[in-house]
Structure 1
Amino acid sequence: MYKRRKLAQDKIIVIPHDWEQRKLGDAINSLESGVSVNSGEEDTGYYILKTSAIELGHVDLTEVKSIVREEILRAKTPLKKGCILISRMNTPALVGASGLNTETRANVFLPDRLWQGAVASHFNQEWLISVLNTPRNIKQIQSLGTGTSGSMKNISKDSMLNVAFAVPSLEEQKAIGKFMEFLENTIALHH
């Protein structure tokens, strides 16, 4: 059995009857951002993650800048393994980009343009990041971007947490997440 859900602009999607509509705020415990700090050429051993590190479900931890010594104590939000990162401020094509941080790297902090959220225990993180990165959801999230500049858009925390999507049971999420991880690993091997 399937049920029909009406979306904005009179579009209808069909989802399995046992899936339910949920919001991102149900799946993420909280969204925290970092602060803006200055970076420099000297390697101080403390780094700020670049906004460009987030792309299509992944986080590239080589995309960092060294924090200048005078600002190291201002860095407040360390990068955490297992969290989802979301670009809250970026170009129209990249605003809302999200990735799952699967690694631990000491002394890497978030800038003010990125959010970090721990995935709630009743959601599978691999499934959630794959859902956020479907073409339909990317378009939905990008449409939340506001601002008068044509080159830079912002998404409010409330808007992001209200993004809705269909959610299967946790067991189905885990199975889908494992399949997506397998698929991505297979594709990576062939590139």
Structure 2
Amino acid sequence: MMTEHRQKLVPEIRFKGFTNAWEQRRLSTIIHLFNGNSFSSKGAQVTGIRWLKISNVSVGKIDWTESSYLPKEFWDHFESYRLGPGDYVMALTRPVLKNELKVARINDSHALLNQRVAKLMFEQDAGFGFQLLRKRDTVDAITNAISGTDPPNLSAKDFEKVSVVIPSIEEQKKIGEFFESLDNLITLHKRKLDGLVTLKDGFLQQMFPAGDEVMPRVRFAGFTGNWEERRLGEMLTERNEQFEESEDYPLMSFVGNVGVVPKGEQYDRSFLVKGDDKKYKKTELNDFIYSSNNLETGSIGLNRTGKAVISPVYSIFYSSNDSESLFVGLLSKRKDFINKMIHYRQGVMYGQWRIHERDFLKIIVLTPTISEQNRIIDFFKNIDEQIAAQTAKLKQLRQLKVAYLQRMFI
């Protein structure tokens, strides 16, 4: 039996003073799609007017990383295709990514609209309409309405197939303003997280010797002198014990970013084939682990979860002094370290590459005294803790928004 608030077409949560039932409408009556133009750029332009393409439109954001440009005179000739701050756009080809629509607001740039990208024209409150398109039920309805083309292409006719429920203009404005404030807060925390990650990357460059240098450019007070060349074999020992999964040693999928996963977070291990007689490799807290098939994408780092068993495809190393394995873990975040590892990679096909453990242990690195290593380790540990806390805060805000989208809409 339908609940009372569903029968009356009212949401579970709403602002004080609003009591009227919401109204069912076709999505096409409140949001119109204005398709872009097929421009001819007359050759590659390095400056001029930005050209908004499908590749620039992602979920909730415009990505100008790979900007294309049109000649400046196009701005005057194609007035109806102009975009500016405050405009909303949607990708029409492959419009859905991971159960979300590729719809975004332009905040800080002007551009001309390319074909297969639509400018969204709202009959009522734009902020409310933007959030309506980000609601999971709306995304599912649009996905089901898209014509059977490959790749999927969203059309104005597809919009006509989708029904939504909306409140009065006044209530729309309240809801739109609320979610705009929440989006701004999420953006603020995302910038703070990005800033911390950038800060860490900067210190990883400055606090370790680069190229032919024998000491870092940035150093803690009281430490002087050149860093010492050492082979990894002097610092690490291979751990190659076969082990069975148990309560004390659960099966773990290693992802490289394991160092910043909040304590207690569980891994999705459903894809792993398990068996009573299957043998794994044992790993302990602060072990250094890598898989040579995916060095560039992150299958390298430290075990930050503790006792576990993992797939035998991984190479595992430990040190009698935790400082040394932790320090190698920091080194592994640097491109020059990855390049040294790749130098020893054997095989000609992706997925069949391998770096033998004996070759890995031949790699020469520069290291300071244990005392200086510990200062550096503690410094980056503090940054990692800030990143983890900020990541958790951002995740909490995004989950809160999802919950509000479900309870403040019908």
- Once the two structures are TM-superposed, the CA of residue 128 in structure 1 deviates from its matched residue by 0.9
Out of 102, 110, 115, the position equivalent to 2:113 is 110
- Once the two structures are TM-superposed, the CA of residue 181 in structure 1 deviates from its matched residue by 1.2
Classify 1:88/1:27 alpha carbon distance in 2 versus 1 (closer, same or farther; 3 Å): same
Out of 46, 53, 58, the position equivalent to 1:55 is 58
- Once the two structures are TM-superposed, the CA of residue 132 in structure 1 deviates from its matched residue by 0.5
Out of 20, 36, 41, the position equivalent to 1:34 is 36
Write the letter of the residue equivalent to 1:27: I
Unaligned runs of 5+ in 2: 12-19, 191-410
Write the letter of the residue equivalent to 2:39: V
Per-residue displacement from partner, 1:37-65 (whole Å, max 9, x unpaired)?
35554324023102133333444466631
Write the letter of the residue equivalent to 2:121: A
Distance 1:178 1:72 in 2: 32
Contact 1:48-1:66 within 8 A present in 2 as well: yes
Aligned length: 176
Higher helix share: 2
SS for the counterpart of 1:89 is: coil
Distance 2:75 2:90 in 1: 23
Classify 1:22/1:87 alpha carbon distance in 2 versus 1 (closer, same or farther; 3 Å): same
Contact 2:125-2:172 within 8 A present in 1 as well: yes
Write the letter of the residue equivalent to 1:15: V
Q: Which moved more, 1:86-95 or 1:134-143?
A: 86-95
Write the letter of the residue equivalent to 2:87: C
Write the letter of the residue equivalent to 1:114: V
Matched, 1:15 2:10: yes
Unaligned runs of 5+ in 1: 6-13
- TM-score norm. by structure 1 comes to 0.73
SS for the counterpart of 2:10 is: strand
- TM-score norm. by structure 2 comes to 0.37
Greater length-normalized contact order (CA 8 Å, ≥ 6 residues apart): 1
Per-residue displacement from partner, 1:11-39 (whole Å, max 9, x unpaired)?
xxx635610111222223x4321222355
Amino-acid identity (%): 27
Contact 1:87-1:114 within 8 A present in 2 as well: yes
* Greater Rg over alpha carbons, structure: 2
- Once the two structures are TM-superposed, the CA of residue 146 in structure 1 deviates from its matched residue by 2.9
Classify 1:159/1:2 alpha carbon distance in 2 versus 1 (closer, same or farther; 3 Å): same
Per-residue displacement from partner, 1:79-116 (whole Å, max 9, x unpaired)?
244433122212663895222334552xx211111111
